[in-house]
Structure 1
Amino acid sequence: MTEAKAVEAATNNNTNHLADFDPHKKKPKRNKYAFACAILASMTSILLGYDIGVMSGAAIYIKRDLKVSDVQIEILLGIINLYSLIGSCLAGRTSDWIGRRYTIVLAGAIFFAGAILMGFSPNYSFLMFGRFVAGIGIGYALMIAPVYTAEVSPASSRGFLTSFPEVFINGGILLGYISNYAFSKMKLQLGWRMMLGIGAVPSVILAVGVLAMPESPRWLVMRGRLGDARKVLNKTSDTKEEAQERLSDIKKAAGIPEHCNDDVVQVAKQNTGEGVWKELLLYPTPAVRHILIAALGIHFFQQASGIDAVVLYSPRIFEKAGITSDTDKLLATVAVGFVKTLFILVATFMLDRVGRRPLLLSSVGGMILSVLTLGISLTIITHSDKKLMWAVGLSIATVLSYVATFSIGAGPITWVYSSEIFPLRLRAQGAAMGVVVNRVTSGVISMTFLSLSKAISIGGAFFLFGGIATVGWIFFYTMLPETRGKTLEDMEGSFGQFRANPAGTKGVDNGNKGQVQLGTTTNNVQS
């Protein structure tokens, strides 16, 4: 009997081990509800992507129809990034006020109005007004999509799910390129207006789809609606235990007692957004200061490395490389959009397996090599008396390799990283600041590229972007710790030491760092 019991116990033990093993491996990728929520929220990013893609081709026909200069064209293309600052600055407070979900609806509605205005523009001034309205909607969308997705995602698949906004930006760019090609054969006065006006369609789909989304559990806790937050967490977590743990962490971050299990509680005012700017900018702890520098830095270098110059002005780049036909140039841009979309899809499956740091560093390294090679090939073409097919082919190949390496790391990781590192109380405004830096930098690059190319040559412009990307690689290596696998509430413990920290998430060491940092923070507050 003793032997039989021992065998039975061993068998049960092995079975338990197997039961523990399977969910650990498989469940993180099977939360269909969190997946669906991330898809719907990230659809807002199609708005920016479509505008970037469609304007690259539409600009050719706008210049011919409205008879405007290169300077007016680069202002037209880039100004929407500055207009989006208004939406980004308002989105943090708006999302804390009406919730993440209805902020997404608002973003879609504003962009819808902007797309209609652009599609019916009779002149350059009216077109600029339409871009102003659309830009506000894009600013809202850029800020809220990664924040909502990060807050609804379980830690096991957060990198995968929060990379979706960048996936949809790339999908939107591809749609914009395809739209350019599809409408390019229409009459000059009608073609570019159709290209811009059709952008209203995604915003309508977005407004309808968002009705099926739940509100962010973290926003619900900030509003004291613990019962509603618990329901959402039960649906978006891998296990019931994880849901309970996430709720406990959010309650702690929001200043709600651990033992409080009421469905509705009163939350202190400071947890609903007031005083955040002082904590971010005037009196930050070492960890918050590090987080802010990391978030703003990654947004700056993502855009300063020249991605919008390549995407927005790819027809010009291909023209400089020796492609003269409008149809061929637009087909080449479709190839750019296809490669960007393909590699961003690859990146989504690597974020939670490889980690943020190695993927980002290898991505930026590839961008540096690609953009410097592009600069060399364009310089050779510019100074050559005859058409060099090998240089033309190299230019096209390096444009494709540049957008591919960007999409596999720097593109998605910027949004994933900046949306997950801020503490709950600072997340909405911190993410909004990141978007502001992102859009300002993008606006400066896209509004000056043509003028810069004339001043230092197009090859020289890409040498400059290569130098900036090199500085960015050094910044990422020294300032950005790994965040893969950490809960949003534990993230603060990985920051505060301004040096390379690739092992910032490893077991006991990281826990000790978190404890030391928390102790430091407490001392600072007391003093």
Structure 2
Amino acid sequence: MVSEHHQPIKETLLVGRALLNFTSVFVSLGVFLFGFEQGLMSSLLTNKYFKDYYNDPSPAEVGTMIAILEIGALFSSFIAGKVGDNIGRRKTIRYGSGIFVVGGLIQTFSVNIINLGFGRLISGVAIGFLTTIIPCYQSEISPPDDRGFYACLEFTGNIIGYSTSIWVDYGFSYIENDISWRAPLFIQCLVGFLLFLGSFIIVETPRWLLDHDEDHEGMIVISDLYADGDVESEVAKVEYRNIKENVLIARIEGGERSYQYMLQRYKKRVSVACFSQMFAQLNGINIVSYYAPMIFESAGWVGRQAILMTGINSIIYILSTIPPWYLVDGWGRKPLLLSGAVLMGFPLLIISYSLMLNNKYTANTVVVCVIIFNAAFGASWGPIPWMMNEVIPNNVRSKGAALSTATNWLFNFIVGEMTPILLDAIKWKTYLIPAASCLLSFFCVHFLFPETKGLTLEDMGSVFDDSSSIFSFHSSVNNNSYGSEDVSVGRRVSVSNASAPAPDPLNEVFRQSPAQIARNTSLLRPELDNHGIGGALPQPTQTTPLIYPSKSTKSDIESLDGIAPSDSNVPPQEIEPPSYDSIVEFKLAQQRKPGIFKKLYHKIWPDVDKDNEQGPLLP
């Protein structure tokens, strides 16, 4: 039945761009917590009441206490990938924020350095969950042309958290007792609790919903995000078909989700995601983030002055994260990383040289170079690695994100553990190590990283050699001489045989699925313009493997294996989203389900007639 009206069926009060903006800003509280935790402890290390209470901990004790957070995050990031696949991105964020509150309370009321370290370990477990799943969540709800913008916006939230903690520490440093360091530790618990409450409001990602056959809810969320709540919008239907097609193809290929399968099949993609996180740490940012006040003290800024200089640096750091909002989807990911490696390397060399000279210019020189270094990182190696999970296919994205995030925490731990020891042992030479890493990262990006701006998540295979996309030259279904798809203009360009004759446009149509035809209408000849999705098309002039998408049920996906169905008279069937009527029935059934308060009510008064109760109905 075709509906005569386009009545919104909404999952949330907000829809469209408003929903995207609200959700992106809200989930950024997860990375805000990580930034807050980083900056918080860096400033407390120079607090005299903090040092007195913990009996002036040695560099090794400080390094272990700081870096143990990364140990917790390292192990939980592996678990987070599996948890995120099983229970969803939204619930994983909920559990992560709840664990963070527990860890923050342990830190707030700690009685010794071991107790404090244990609290940071628990907080690290939470941060491992949040930093693994939130980038996945962000990439899976963002439209391709704005995915970089929202990822960079998320990173800005991280740096705002870092800066906020510095200024909170600075404000409380005027209190002349232990509250000066316990109060900032408690504030992070309040932010974690706010994120926990918000996890009940935000939507689940449509890709996770469709991957788990929650097709009705998935269609509602897609329409909320991209079509202002209109489930009959063609924009929503095309997006549904695009995602579901990718899900079904992954099932035909075996439905593998193991780490072994991922590393064998998608090794280049995983390398890009992991190398970006590795160099983000080895390039030296946490030498500054964790120990900035100590660095400023070594350069001549003492006590509260060191925290003040760190706070000023953090404001410039925030401002530096804004240009990538507009550059990442236009200029691209790769140019930002290359320029960032250069702009970070030179200040590190100058810091090292200035500390070696140790003259009257050293203090100001170090401040200026640290600010330039932070700004360069904030505009490049800060946001970009967290969004590189976009290159991982949907069926293993959580595990790919887990591995890349674990790489981040492994090298984060190494840097956090070794920095105070190296600063104490080799002093100014310490900064030569990250400077060398900046040089290596430049060549790694230049030779290994492809550019992924503007690609949909489903079309990432077009720039990788892993045969993972039916739209890629490397695909086993589409292994022809015409090359990979130029998704920006909806046509194919040669990457393997420049002298090959131009492909026949009609045959190019038949090499793609009906859903892809609908998305790339420029492939159609004028005489084909009246043929809609699933319409009758002239037969191809030569035999070419076809893709036959079917209805989105597990039992009916054999027609997607690249072989025509046994009944040759059956035309290719498009993947159809749930009908308007079935979505209405689903939504009404959802509304009639008792909420948590109603369930509690029936437990207290079990004799109430539940069958006669009606939930709110759609208009």
Question: Of residues 334, 341, 358 in structure 1, which corresponds to 2:335?
Answer: 358
Quote the offset at 1:429 in angstroms.
Answer: 0.4
Match of 2:240?
A: 247
Q: Give the counterpart letter for 1:254 in structure 2.
A: V
* C-alpha contact (below 8 Å) 1:366/1:405 kept by paired residues: yes
Is 1:311 paired with 2:289?
Answer: yes
Q: In 2 relative to 1, CA 31–72 (structure 1 residues): closer, same or farther, beyond 3 Å?
A: same
Structure 2 equivalent of residue 81 of structure 1: 70
Q: 1:509 to 1:397 in 2, by over 3 A?
A: farther
CA distance in 2, matches of 1:64, 1:485: 53
In 2, the alpha carbon distance for the partners of 1:117 and 1:140 equals 19
SS in 2 for 1:211: coil
One-letter amino acid of the counterpart of residue 154, structure 1: P
Distance in 2 between the 1:59 and 1:504 partners?
Answer: 52
Alpha-carbon distance in structure 2 between the residues aligned to 1:420 and 1:333 = 33
**1:459-478 CA deviation, whole Å, 9 max, x = no partner?**
21111110011101110111
Following superposition, the deviation at residue 441 of structure 1 comes to 0.2
Bigger shift: 294-303 or 76-85? 76-85
Deviations 1:23-44 (A, max 9, x none): xxxxxxx822212221122211
Letter in 2 for 1:226: D
- In 2, the alpha carbon distance for the partners of 1:100 and 1:269 equals 24
1 or 2 for the larger relative contact order (CA 8 Å, sep ≥6)? Answer: 1
- The answer as to whether partners of 1:494 and 1:505 remain within 8 angstroms in 2 is no
Aligned to 2:209: 220
Give 1:432's aligned residue. Answer: 402
Change over 3 Å in CA distance of 1:197–1:279 after alignment to 2: same
Task: Tell me the alpha carbon deviations over residues 35-91 of structure 1, each in whole angstroms, 9 at most, x when there is no partner.
Answer: 222112221111110000000011223333211212101111111011112221111
Matches within 5 A, 1:282-431: 283-284=264-265, 288-324=266-302, 326-381=303-358, 384=359, 388=360, 390-417=361-388, 419-431=389-401
Does structure 2 conserve the Cα–Cα contact (< 8 Å) formed by 1:339 and 1:404?
yes
Deviation of 1:111 after TM superposition, in Å, equals 0.4
Question: Is the Cα–Cα contact under 8 Å of residues 39 and 162 in structure 2 kept in the other structure?
Answer: yes
**Given the superposition, is the C-alpha separation of residues 310 and 156 from structure 1 closer, same or farther in structure 2, using an over 3 Å criterion?**
same
TM-score (norm 1): 0.83
Q: 1:201 aligns with which of 185, 190, 212?
A: 190
Residue 353 of structure 1: CA displacement? 2.0
Q: Give me the whole-angstrom Cα distance separating, in 2, the residues matched to 1:231 and 1:238.
A: 10
- 1:504: Cα distance to partner? 8.4
Partner of 1:112: 101
CA 1:227/1:432 → structure 2, altered by over 3 Å: closer, same or farther?
Answer: same
Aligned partner of 2:262 in structure 1 is: 280
Look up the SS of the partner of 2:178 in the other structure.
helix
Residues 90-124 of structure 1 show CA distances to partners (whole Å, capped at 9, x for unaligned) of: 11111111111111111111001111110000111
The offset of 1:268, in angstroms, is: 8.6
Q: 1:268/1:215 Cα in 2 relative to 1: closer, same or farther (>3 Å)? A: farther
Q: 1:264 — aligned with what?
A: none
Specify the structure having the higher radius of gyration (Cα): 2
Tell me, what secondary structure is at the counterpart of 2:380?
Answer: helix
Residue deviations 1:337-361 (CA, integer Å, cap 9, x gap): 1111111122222211221111121
Shift of 1:211: 2.1
Describe the superposition over 1:462-507 as per-residue Cα deviations: whole angstroms up to 9, x where unpaired: 111100111011101111111111000000221129xxxxx98765
The alpha carbon displacement at 1:275 in A equals 3.7
**Residue 251 of structure 1, CA deviation:** 1.1
Residues 454 and 488 of structure 2 are in contact (CA less than 8 Å); yes or no, is this contact kept in structure 1?
Answer: no
Within the candidate set 388, 394, 415, 1:445 is matched to 415
Task: Name 1:7's counterpart in structure 2.
Answer: none
Aligned Cα RMSD in Å?
Answer: 2.6
Tell me which moved more, 61-70 or 140-149: 61-70
**Cα distance in 2 for residues equivalent to 1:188 and 1:448:** 31
- Cα distance in 2 for partners of 1:252, 1:391 equals 60
Specify the code of the residue in structure 1 equivalent to 2:259. Answer: W
Task: Confirm or deny: 8 A CA contact 1:42 1:146 kept in the other structure.
Answer: no
Determine the structure 1 residue equivalent to 2:440: 471
Post-superposition Cα deviations, 1:280-306, rounded to whole Å, max 9, x if no partner, equal 13x32xxx1110111110000000111
Alignment-derived partner of residue 14 in structure 1:
none
| 1:198-235 per-position Cα deviation (integer Å, ceiling 9, x unaligned) | 11011111122222211100000111011211111122
Structure-2-length-normalised TM-score: 0.71
Deviation at 1:444, TM superposition (A): 0.5
Question: Cα 1:242–1:290, aligned 2, differ >3 Å: closer, same or farther?
Answer: farther
Matched with 2:613 is none
Q: Greater shift after overlay, 306-315 or 234-243?
A: 234-243
Aligned residues of 1:154 and 1:238 also touching (Cα < 8 A): no
> Which residue of 46, 50, 71 corresponds with 2:36?
50
Take 2:169 and 2:461, find their aligned partners in 1: how far apart are those partners? 45
Q: Aligned equivalents of 2:161 and 2:120: distance in 1?
A: 17
AA aligned to 2:243 is I
Structure 2 counterpart of 1:12: none
Instruction: Provide Cα deviations, 1:389-448, integer angstroms capped at 9, x if missing partner.
Output: x3321110000000000000110011112x210000110000010000001101100111
Identical aligned pairs, as a percentage?
A: 26
Given that residues 42 and 149 in structure 1 are in contact (C-alpha distance below 8 angstroms), is that contact kept between their aligned partners in structure 2?
no
Cα distance in 1, alignment partners of residues 411 and 242 from structure 2? 35
Are the structure 2 counterparts of residues 370 and 339 from structure 1 closer, same or farther at C-alpha, using a change threshold of 3 Å? Answer: same
What SS does structure 2 have at the residue aligned with 1:146? helix
**What secondary structure is seen at the aligned counterpart in 2 of 1:352?**
coil
Answer whether contact 1:153 1:237 (CA < 8 A) is retained: no
Q: Which amino acid aligns with 1:299?
A: Q
2:46 matched residue in structure 1: 60
Query: Distance in 2 between the 1:402 and 1:188 partners?
Result: 34
Secondary structure, aligned partner of 1:310: helix
* 1:483/1:505 contact within 8 Å kept: no
Q: Output the CA distance in 2 between the equivalents of 1:468 and 1:309.
A: 13
Contact 2:257/2:396 (8 A) holds in 1: no
Paired residue total: 461
> Match for 1:156 among 126, 145, 150?
145
Indicate the residue corresponding to 1:121 in structure 2.
110
| Shift in alpha-carbon separation, 1:494–1:37, aligned structure 2, 3 A | same
Contact residue 46 and residue 294 of structure 2 kept, 8 A: no
